[in-house]
């Protein structure tokens, strides 16, 4: 190995004495100085001089300093020196996240003008409570998120973050982070489970509460069997709750059986006689999946509606509308059941009845006068709607309903001609296009004959 190779190796070696590195930093060879710039043992003063000498050196120096700043083995006094003498964001950000950073340095960085540095201090597990509280006083949502990600955030601070919900509606991410935090107290997790339905992205909060081992058993049971689980028709918290080690074994056993019935209810290959039996199931989610199964027989759908109308279930009417909607839009629902649902109090249930191809004509006549625009829109697009009703809907005050009449393949030409002169430009254009298409189809048919 040549003498120059020895010098470069010494410049890169972290065991080289600081005094020797300072000497090598003045060497005429570029690669020797470059090796010193990347050496974590190089004195800070020497690195500062090198960084000012060359742009490539500067990049190497700052990468070197950042690596030192985040190294958990870096001595506290060196971290303090880095924070004091190097104002580059990356370097101070590294110091801000190092758990060995002295408390007085964290206090100074918590006042730093760069938001990113303060954000990082909030996540540092060594940041004391009084500094975290000072950072939260900024009332910035992302700072609250950062505090909620701090592994050592105390229970009282996490509780305070949730209590801020009424003041800062944008703190949804914070509540999700609190729900997954290992220090969140059981009573706060229970509160999050109860209030999640009133929060944006509430299902994400429920997911975290369901898997948090500190969630109390009563809250887990409530999430699995109460309306909390029932509000989300396409998602079940139960599959998560059943894996929580805090759930009592006897409850977990019953829940596994329910999940098996849910799987049978949603499986289109389940035999019809099993689906009919599941219609009497006491569990809401089993019945909901059954109502959405495309192969559920007509008699089972009728039973499901009776179960939904049962007075003892009216306390969960907000959730039951999912079942009624599924029945209203189901292709196997008997006409007499659809006629009953045509008078349902829920606008969207009536909307689904209006669009069902098996809805009896008299029910479509009734729904054509509905106060709900989406319901009239569905009736206007239903190919089974009587022509005289389509003629009436062609003069509906809502242009969306009139467009639906235009797109209905059963709309009589005379009605289409009227719509072609509609005051609404889009209805007018759509109707004219349909008339032209109809004329073209008529000519082709005539030529074929």
What are the φ and ψ backbone dihedral angles of 213, each rounded to 5 degrees? Answer: -65, -10
Residue 80 placed within a domain: no
Residue 187: pLDDT band by 50, 70, 90 thresholds? very high
Q: What 8-state DSSP symbol labels residue 422? A: -
Burial 73-106 (b: 16+ CB within 10 A, else e): ebeeebbbbbbeebebbebbbbbbbbebbbeebb
pLDDT beyond 90 at 379: yes
pLDDT beyond 50 at 446: no
pLDDT beyond 80 at 438: no
Whether the Cβ atoms of residue 271 and residue 261 lie closer than 8 Å to each other: no
Q: How far apart are CA 112 and CA 122, in angstroms?
A: 12
Give the tokens for residue 122: 């909030």
Whose CA is closest to 178, among 216, 139, 204?
Answer: 204
pLDDT of residue 360: 97
Q: Residue 1, Cα to own-chain centre: how many angstroms?
A: 60
Q: How far apart are CA 206 and CA 318, in angstroms?
A: 18
pTM here?
A: 0.67
Q: Residue 140, Cα to own-chain centre: how many angstroms?
A: 21
- Angle CA 242–245–251, to nearest 5: 45
Residue 118 placed within a domain: no
pLDDT of residue 138: 84
pLDDT of residue 317: 58
Residue 272 placed within a domain: no
Residue 377 placed within a domain: yes
Digit-coded pLDDT (tens) for 264-297: 999 999 999 999 999 999 888 899 999 999 999 9
Digit-coded pLDDT (tens) for 295-348: 999 999 999 999 888 766 655 656 688 899 999 999 999 999 999 999 999 999
Residue 444 placed within a domain: yes
Angle between the N-to-C axes of helices 155-163 and 186-195, in degrees from 0 to 180, rounded to the nearest 10: 20
Give the tokens for residue 272: 């019809």
Whose CA is closest to 386, among 359, 365, 356, 367?
Answer: 365
Q: Which residue has the tokens 């009734």?
A: 366
Residue 171: pLDDT band by 50, 70, 90 thresholds? low
Whether the Cβ atoms of residue 355 and residue 329 lie closer than 8 Å to each other: yes
Q: How many domains does the chain have?
A: 1
Length in residues, the chain? 449
Query: How many Å from the N-terminal Cα to the C-terminal Cα in the chain?
Result: 98
Average pLDDT over residues 238-264: 91
Residue 434 placed within a domain: yes
What are the φ and ψ backbone dihedral angles of 116, each rounded to 5 degrees? Answer: -60, -35
- Angle CA 92–30–26, to nearest 5: 75
* Mean pLDDT of the residues in the chain: 87
Of 88-92, 110-114, 312-316, 331-335, which one has max mean pLDDT? Answer: 331-335
Residue 395 placed within a domain: yes
Of 158-167, 348-357, 423-432, which one has max mean pLDDT? Answer: 348-357
Digit-coded pLDDT (tens) for 8-29: 888 888 888 888 988 887 888 8
Answer left, alpha or beta for residue 54, where phi above 0 means left and psi between -120 and 50 means alpha.
beta
Digit-coded pLDDT (tens) for 215-225: 999 999 888 87
Whose CA is closest to 183, among 151, 160, 146, 206?
Answer: 151
pLDDT beyond 70 at 165: no
pLDDT of residue 226: 63
Percent of the chain with pLDDT over 70: 89
* 223-227 long-range contacts, CB within 8 A, separation 24+: 223/193, 224/251, 224/255, 227/197, 227/316, 227/318, 227/319
pLDDT of residue 162: 85
- Domain hosting 386: range is 368-449
Average pLDDT over residues 61-81: 87
pLDDT of residue 228: 44
Residue 394 placed within a domain: yes
Q: How far apart are CA 289 and CA 327, in angstroms?
A: 11
pLDDT of residue 380: 97
Q: How many CB atoms lie within 10 A of CB 140?
A: 17
Q: How many CB atoms lie within 10 A of CB 210?
A: 26
pLDDT of residue 147: 93
Q: What dihedral angle (degrees, nearest 10) is formed by the CA atoms of 428, 430, 436, 442?
A: -120
* 308-315 long-range contacts, CB within 8 A, separation 24+: none
pLDDT beyond 60 at 166: no
Give the tokens for residue 18: 């600081």
When comparing pLDDT for 387 and 47, which is higher?
Answer: 387
């Amino acid at each position: 190995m040549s003498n120059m190779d020895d010098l470069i190796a010494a410049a890169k070696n972290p065991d080289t004495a600081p005094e020797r590195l300072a000497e090598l930093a003045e060497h005429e060879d570029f690669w020797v100085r470059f090796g010193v710039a990347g050496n974590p043992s190089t004195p800070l003063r020497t690195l500062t001089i090198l960084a000012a000498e060359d742009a490539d050196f500067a990049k190497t120096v700052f990468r070197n300093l950042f690596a030192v700043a985040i190294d958990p083995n870096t001595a506290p006094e060196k971290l303090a020196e880095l924070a004091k003498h190097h104002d580059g964001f990356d370097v101070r950000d590294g110091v801000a996240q190092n758990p060995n950073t002295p408390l007085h340095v964290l206090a100074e960085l918590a006042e730093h003008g760069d938001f990113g540095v303060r954000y990082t201090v909030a996540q540092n597990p060594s940041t004391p409570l009084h500094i975290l509280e000072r950072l939260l006083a900024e009332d910035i949502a992302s700072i609250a998120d950062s505090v909620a990600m701090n592994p050592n955030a105390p229970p009282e601070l996490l509780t305070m973050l949730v209590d801020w919900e009424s003041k800062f509606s944008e703190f949804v991410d914070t509540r999700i982070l609190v729900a997954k935090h290992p220090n969140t107290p059981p009573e706060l997790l229970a509160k999050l489970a109860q209030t999640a339905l009133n929060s944006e992205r509430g299902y994400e909060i429920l997911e975290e509460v369901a898997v948090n081992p500190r969630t109390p058993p009563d809250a887990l049971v409530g999430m699995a069997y109460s309306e909390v689980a029932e509000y989300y028709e396409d998602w079940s918290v139960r599959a998560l709750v059943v894996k929580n080690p805090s759930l009592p074994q006897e409850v977990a056993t019953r829940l596994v059986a329910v999940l098996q019935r849910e799987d049978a209810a949603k499986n289109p290959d389940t035999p019809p006689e099993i689906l009919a039996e599941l219609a009497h199931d006491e569990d809401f989610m089993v019945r909901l999946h059954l109502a959405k199964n495309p192969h559920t027989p007509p008699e089972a759908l009728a039973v499901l509606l009776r179960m939904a109308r049962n007075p003892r279930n009216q306390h969960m009417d907000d959730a039951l509308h999912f079942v009624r909607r599924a029945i209203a839009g189901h292709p196997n629902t008997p006409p007499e059941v659809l006629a009953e649902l045509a008078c349902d109090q829920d606008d969207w249930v009536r909307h689904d009845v209006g669009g069902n191809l098996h809805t009896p004509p008299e029910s479509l006549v009734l729904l054509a006068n509905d106060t709900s625009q989406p319901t009239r829109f569905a009736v206007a697009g239903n190919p089974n709607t009587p022509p005289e009703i389509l003629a009436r809907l062609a003069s509906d005050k809502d242009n969306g309903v009139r467009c639906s009449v235009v797109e209905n393949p059963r709309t009589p030409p005379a009605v289409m001609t009227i719509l072609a002169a509609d005051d609404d430009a889009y209805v007018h254009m759509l109707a004219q296009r349909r008339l032209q298409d109809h004329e073209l189809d008529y000519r082709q048919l005539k030529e074929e004959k």
